[in-house]
Structure 1
Amino acid sequence: MENGISLYPGLDNTLEENLQLLDAAAKYGIRRVFTSLHIPETNVAVLKKELAKLLAAARRYDMEIISDVSPRTLAMLDMTEFDMSAFKQLGITTLRLDYGYDAVQIAMLSHNQQGIRLQLNASTITEQILAELQAAGTDFSHIDALHNFYPRRGTGISEETLQRKNAMLQKLGIKVGAFVPSSGKQRAPLFEGLPTLEDHRGWQTDKAARHLAALGIDSVFISDSLPLPAELQAVADLKQDEVVLAAKMLTQDSVQQELLRHTFTAREDEARDAIRAQESRGLIQGTIEPENNYERKLGAVTIDNKDYLRYMGELEIIKNPQPADNRVNVAAQVLDEEIFMLKYITPGRKFSFKLK
């Protein structure tokens, strides 16, 4: 996944803090930076003083620099007209067109000669807008999309809305990104997180990011000012189109522990009571002895032991509680707060565990 961080020169952080964030993100392999050039609370004088230094540092790390722009941006940057060459000279590689641009303008900009990519606002996209962009001759190979974030509590979008908008865009081959909040330094003016999904307000970054990946998002951005190192690591480690569940390890057996660290595919012949791993029996290296043969509750991760004969190594996640069986070991347990993500492990979907 092509994930990123956010920078807001002229707002919360010092130049040194922002430069340190770029350096830390680069060390984790994060190569995308979002910034906004039309936030009302921005100190424009500071932005003008610091922007060039930040963009130069990002270029040294070979980062894609995405700038949220609107007609207000021109005044901020002392531009008399919308000039792609001027944005390229600054080092901006992608322009997110927030508002104030019609389909004809966007189509024209998508054919620019400066190599600057465009980004649509995924949260406000409609079938009509996409039809107008197609009719205007937009080159969608130079375009992706990014959802809004929402500083005010209660204004973030729903999961249903996000999935509906994503389906419109991804049908045209447009990749879609979204934002997750941080538990580190939160951004002004409200300091209540900047999630895309209202459900994510107050969530840990790791869980919110894995939820977006489970929903099929193509890229995840940390929206707040100074994310924690563990949050940068979590976003860097995200896996494309894979459901990763936090689970408590229960087995003491090294053979089972090793099996639990693999990535699996949910079988196409979906069982009523469990998610069955397609590959697990073929991955076993050794013999699995009986262990933890107790009742299998919702979210139990089970592995069949040697007494189940040719089924030894069968790994399942329980969807409907099952009684104890001496042939079935309970090797791990999906955390209660992550049970809801089982519904995303549909037939053919990849899944794995973040073991605690």
Structure 2
Amino acid sequence: MSNGISIYLGLDNHLDENIELIKKAANAGIKRIFTSLHIPEADAEVLKAELKKILAAAKEYNMDVISDISPRAMKILGFAGFSLNHFSQLGIETLRLDDGFTFDDIITMSNNDLGIKLQLNASTITKDFLENLKEAGTDMSNIEAMHNFFPRENTGLSEEFVYKKTRLLHEYDIKVSAFIPSFNRPRSPIFAGLPTLELHRKTSFDFSLRHLLAMGIDSVFVGDSLPNDKEIWLLGSFSDTDAVLLRPAPWTVDDDIIKLLKMPYTTRPDEARDVIRTQESRRYARDSAISIKSDNCGPRNAGYVTLDNENYGRYQGELQIIKEYLPPDHRVNIVASLSNDEKLLIKYLTPGKAFKFIL
């Protein structure tokens, strides 16, 4: 699934800023918009007046609109009662269900012929709930899930919790979304960013995005309302990728080695204890017909990226990412290193996983 932006009507941005954001996002390859129709701080009259213009812009740029809804939203929109037809006519294709909807409501709404999908709260869902949905005749192909974002500091979720919930949802073939903050204009009224993971309140936009993708999140949304051009570009560039993306610091300027580092890799299926090994690296080196001279053969700390040099015979070109400290070896060159943040991604390099270095 594509990554997405967030639009909040009646809050911080002017209408023209929101329209321009949609245009920039579409041009960057972003295909999804999250919005909420029941934020307490939002100006309800402004929201109602501008919603049709925002939905028209989304339609013009072929973007899928996901709306957080509740019974309060029905009053704001002037609907006498709840009906999927209302949202279909507006052009809202995915509904994220908040408080006020029952188990039976979900089952009934899932079996619609309007092409509308439902998003459940990925942060609170349980296995029993999913089993009950499945057994009760829910059209599971119309079910998605989205983790909450958390405006107040120290209330964001842990990495372990989000990973566990996401894996559970994937067992039922349910796609999962989550949020990262923008550092351009944090959303009011708290102005502390809108991340799913508390960790991401302090890490870079680039790392937060790659971190969620490495964890298996299918669609990453920037939670705040006015990301800058670089953030939009990154969000679009990293859409629809299954590879873990790592950004190491090179220890070499050798063009041949830099070229090897830029190649796509897959981890070996037989997982080593001390290092991450790759399936392709020695073949890449052979095909390039390069000779790797001994260089930077120091102690190998966790997070170092190494290449076996010519002294290792047939292992020349073997690329590894170090998991545990290893002593120096004159046959092994250190060619790059991962920062402490980047090292958090190593655990997601499971057997058979695709990954790529961004240099």
Q: Give the TM interval when normalised to the shorter protein.
A: over 0.9
The residue type equivalent to 1:353 in the other structure is F
After superposition, where does 1:143-154 map in structure 2 within 5 Å?
Answer: 143-154=143-154
Whether contact under 8 Å (1:157, 1:196) holds in the other structure is: yes
The residue type equivalent to 1:287 in the other structure is I
Aligned to 1:344: 348
Whether contact under 8 Å (2:292, 2:316) holds in the other structure is: no
DSSP-derived class of the 2:247 partner: strand
Comparing 90-99 and 128-137, the one that deviates more: 128-137
CA distance in 2, matches of 1:325, 1:19: 57
Deviation (angstroms), 1:340? 2.4
Whether contact under 8 Å (2:292, 2:317) holds in the other structure is: no
CA distance in 2, matches of 1:316, 1:131: 41
CA distance in 1, matches of 2:291, 2:36: 54
Whether contact under 8 Å (1:215, 1:241) holds in the other structure is: no
The residue type equivalent to 2:91 in the other structure is G
Say if 2:325 is the partner of 1:321.
yes
Q: Deviation per CA, 1:92-147: give whole Å up to 9, x if none.
A: 11111112111111111111222211111111212332233223311011111111
CA distance in 1, matches of 2:327, 2:135: 59
Aligned to 2:298: 294
Deviation (angstroms), 1:326? 2.8
Deviation (angstroms), 1:237? 2.6
The residue type equivalent to 1:144 in the other structure is E
CA distance in 1, matches of 2:145, 2:276: 33
1:303 aligns with one of 307, 314, 324? 307
Whether contact under 8 Å (1:68, 1:96) holds in the other structure is: yes
Comparing 210-219 and 327-336, the one that deviates more: 327-336
Whether contact under 8 Å (2:4, 2:30) holds in the other structure is: yes
Deviation (angstroms), 1:62? 0.8
Unaligned runs of 5+ in 2: none
The residue type equivalent to 1:216 in the other structure is G
CA distance in 2, matches of 1:167, 1:176: 9
DSSP-derived class of the 2:297 partner: coil
CA distance in 1, matches of 2:196, 2:247: 22
Aligned to 1:182: 182
CA distance in 1, matches of 2:69, 2:333: 55
CA distance in 2, matches of 1:143, 1:288: 53
Q: Deviation per CA, 1:221-256: give whole Å up to 9, x if none.
A: 100011122212222232634322221111221111
DSSP-derived class of the 2:132 partner: helix
Equivalent residue pairs, number:
355
Whether contact under 8 Å (1:216, 1:240) holds in the other structure is: no
Scaled by the length of structure 1, the TM-score of the pair is 0.95
CA distance in 2, matches of 1:42, 1:79: 18
Whether contact under 8 Å (1:122, 1:166) holds in the other structure is: yes
Q: Deviation per CA, 1:46-87: give whole Å up to 9, x if none.
A: 111111111111111111100000111100100011121221
Deviation (angstroms), 1:89? 1.5
Aligned to 1:164: 164
Shift >4 Å, 4+ stretches: none
CA distance in 2, matches of 1:244, 1:75: 44
Whether contact under 8 Å (2:107, 2:139) holds in the other structure is: yes
Deviation (angstroms), 1:258? 0.7
Aligned to 2:11: 11
CA distance in 1, matches of 2:4, 2:58: 12
Unaligned runs of 5+ in 1: none
Say if 2:75 is the partner of 1:75.
yes
The residue type equivalent to 1:335 in the other structure is S
